[in-house]
Amino acid sequence: MTKAKYSLTEGPIWKAMLFFAMPVFLSNLLQQLYNTFDAWCVGNYINDNALAAVSSSGSLIFLLVGFFNGLAMGAGVVIARYYGAKEYDRMSRSIHTSVAFGLICGIALSIAGVILTPFILKLMGTPTEVLPQSVEYFRYYFMGAVFTVMYNIFVGILHSVGDSKHPLFYLIISTAVNIVLDILFVAVMGLGVGWAAIATTISQGISALLCFIHLLRVKSPYRISIPFIKIDFKSLCEMLRYGLPSGIQNSVISVANVFVQANINSFGKAAMAGCGSYSKLEGFAFLPVICFSQSLSTFVGQNLGAGNHNRAKRGTAFGIICGCVMAELIGIVSYIFAPRLIGFFTDSAESIALGSQHMRTICLFYCLLAFSHCAAGVLRGAGKAMVPMITMLTIWCVIRVSYITAAVRIVNELTTVSTAYPLTWTLSGIVFIIYLTKADWIHNFDKTKEKQL
């Protein structure tokens, strides 16, 4: 095999981190455009009920997709470790196992999503006038969930070996397709909200296919060979060891978010549309957080795999600082322009007012969210996925839900729900600061590795 092309274990840290992180940032930016453009199209060319149906989609989609994305993250940590250590045979077995397992999970998710959509939407308290279009949108979306899962598997493989450029190229293509199809189906042909989901599904299928073709053709140790796509149970166990905590964390946090969405739904259609519009904007605001969290997992995994402890520590500090600063700058801009940003999705004065209020209660605390996610990314890369899982499940689920349950009974206002986010971000940040400064997570990685050999 030819020599590996991508590595984060050499050269200036800032250069390696930023050159890897920027394509990740742009990729996540384009991916966020999928559902956002759906919301814009249906909000402007159908009606507010359609906007509410699409805008409230985030928590439900992440509930069903988040678990499998967590497993993909676990696979990425394992692959990054073996790539940094140049153990290419074990890396190849992990890659082919992740592809086989992802295919099984993606098919299962598509079936479960189509069947469970009406039940979950009713459980969330979706208003009667919004329910039919919500069911239509989600069912079409989940028919293509296998493409979403496989895309995340393929991107996880590429990111774990330091290649963040090819996923970006493929997302540029698929995003362009999504925009064209949204305009064609919704704006030009006047079709229903389900066709916005169909446009997204087709686009996600294209991006997954392009990634797969690249991995079949690349002349590198991480190349995929179709006859070898099967489950190696030793590799699967290792992937589940690192990925299961993240998958459980994603799913349980999603349940908490569904609970929060149900509380938002109780304030009516205008609150759903306004807060749903904010959730689309929030997705863009969180991009630096996601970008540096993913980059830190790969950077730390590769460098600890190669035994570069000091480099892993320096990269951790650089990545966390960059993520927090960028997130806070975006938070300030979001606070200033909140009404105009919400107004991009709807012209309802009530929806704009409620969405702006929700945004301004939250956005100045984005730096706290960034710190928690970046710290979690570092610990996943170091093989300590249980720490962020326990921290986030305890604080972002149990404490957040308990706070909302108690506080809304006392002050039944939308702001009460909104304040749950900065409160719980602060608490999780304190826990991560204590752990990163006190625990020997760097050398514990080597002890874990020795036990596996």
SS (HEC) of the chain = CCCCCCCCCCCCHHHHHHHHHHHHHHHHHHHHHHHHHHHHHHHHHCCHHHHHHHHCHHHHHHHHHHHHHHHHHHHHHHHHHHHHCCCHHHHHHHHHHHHHHHHHHHHHHHHHHHHHHHHHHHHCCCCCCCHHHHHHHHHHHHHCHHHHHHHHHHHHHHHHCCCCHHHHHHHHHHHHHHHHHHHHHHHHCCCCCHHHHHHHHHHHHHHHHHHHHHHHHCCCCCCCCHHHCCCCHHHHHHHHHHHHHHHHHHHHHHHHHHHHHHHHHCCCHHHHHHHHHHHHHHHHHCHHHHHHHHHHHHHHHHHHHCCCHHHHHHHHHHHHHHHHHHHHHHHHHHHHCHHHHHCCCCCCHHHHHHHHHHHHHHHHHHHHHHHHHHHHHHHHHCCCCHHHHHHHHHHHHHHHHHHHHHHHHHCCCHHHHHCHHHHHHHHHHHHHHHHHHHCCHHHHHHHHHHHHC
How confident is the model over 360-407, as pLDDT tens digits? 999 999 999 999 999 998 998 888 888 888 998 899 888 998 998 888
Q: Report the pLDDT averaged over residues 214-224.
A: 91
Tell me if 161 is assigned to some domain.
Answer: yes
Report residue 60's pLDDT band, with 50, 70 and 90 as the boundaries: low
Residue 288: HSE in the Cβ half-sphere, 13 Å Cα cutoff: 20
Q: Residue 4: which pLDDT band, with cuts at 50, 70 and 90? A: very low
- The predicted pLDDT at position 213 comes to 95
> Nearest CA to 416 among 361, 364, 365, 368?
361
pLDDT value for 371: 94
Residue 326 falls inside a structural domain: yes
Give the residue-averaged pLDDT of 5-31: 76
How large is the average pLDDT for residues 157-176? 86
- Burial pattern 236-261, b for ≥16 Cβ within 10 A else e, equals bebbbbbbbbbbbbbbbbbebbbbbb
User: Is 4 within the bounds of a domain?
Assistant: no
pLDDT band (50, 70, 90) for residue 29: confident
* pLDDT band at 2; cut points 50, 70, 90: very low
**What average pLDDT does this structure show over 253-259?**
72
**pLDDT tens track for 35-52:** 667 677 777 777 667 766
Distance CA 423, CA 407 (A): 13
Check residue 8 and give its pLDDT: 76
Residue given tokens 């960034």 in the structure block? 370
**Residue percentage of the chain with pLDDT more than 90:** 21
Task: Please state, in angstroms and rounded to a whole number, the distance separating the CA atoms of residues 116 and 127.
Answer: 17
Let me know: does 350 contact 410? Beta carbons within 8 Å: no
Nearest CA to 152 out of 32, 252, 65, 56 is that of 65
| Between 136 and 46, residue with greater pLDDT | 136
Segment 67-71 shows an average pLDDT of 76
Q: What pLDDT does 3 receive? A: 44
| Model confidence at 249: pLDDT above 80 | no
Ramachandran sector of residue 439 (left: φ over 0; alpha: ψ -120 to 50; beta: rest): beta
Given this model, what pLDDT does residue 93 score? Answer: 93
Is 237 within the bounds of a domain? yes
As a whole number of angstroms, the distance between CA 348 and CA 368 comes to 31
Whole-number pLDDT of residue 5: 53
Q: State the helix-helix crossing angle for 420-438 and 366-381, rounded to 10 degrees.
A: 40
Torsion angle, alpha carbons of 149, 153, 159, 165, to 10: -60
The 10s digit of each residue's pLDDT in 79-126 is 888 888 888 899 999 999 999 999 998 898 889 888 888 887 777 667
Query: Which is more confident, 219 or 446?
Result: 219
Is 443 a residue whose pLDDT tops 70?
no
Phi, psi of 92 (to 5 degrees): -65, -40
Lowest pLDDT segment from 49-58, 338-347, 430-439 = 49-58
Is pLDDT of 154 > 90?
A: yes
Q: Is the pLDDT of residue 351 over 50?
A: yes
Is residue 174 scored above 80 in pLDDT?
A: yes
- How high does pLDDT run on average in the chain? 82
Q: Please indicate, yes or no, if residue 452 is contained in any of the structural domains.
A: no
Residues 308 and 323: their CA atoms lie apart, in Å, by 22
Please count the structural domains in the chain: 1
pTM: 0.71
**Overall average pLDDT of the 4-28 stretch:** 75
Q: What's the CA gap between 318 and 347, in Å, rounded?
A: 41
| Residues 316-350: tens digit of each pLDDT | 999 999 889 989 999 999 999 999 888 887 778 88
**Which band of pLDDT confidence, cut at 50, 70 and 90, is reported for residue 453?**
very low
CB of 441 closer than 8 Å to CB of 382: yes
The whole-number pLDDT of residue 197 equals: 83
Q: What pLDDT was estimated at residue 430? A: 95
Give the mean model confidence (pLDDT) for residues 230-248. Answer: 84
pLDDT on residue 1 = 40
**Residue 71 located in a structural domain:** yes
Residues 6+ apart with CB under 8 A from 89: none
pLDDT surpasses 80 at 441: no
Environment class of 344 (CB within 10 Å of its CB; exposed 0-12, middle 13-18, buried 19+): middle
Examine residue 231 and state whether it is found in any structural domain, yes or no: yes
Worst-scoring range by mean pLDDT, 344-358, 376-390, 439-453?
Answer: 439-453
- Quick one: angle between helices 13-45 and 287-305, nearest 10? 150
Which domain range does residue 263 map to?
A: 13-447
Classify residue 59: in a domain, yes or no.
yes
CB 144, CB 200: distance < 8 Å: yes
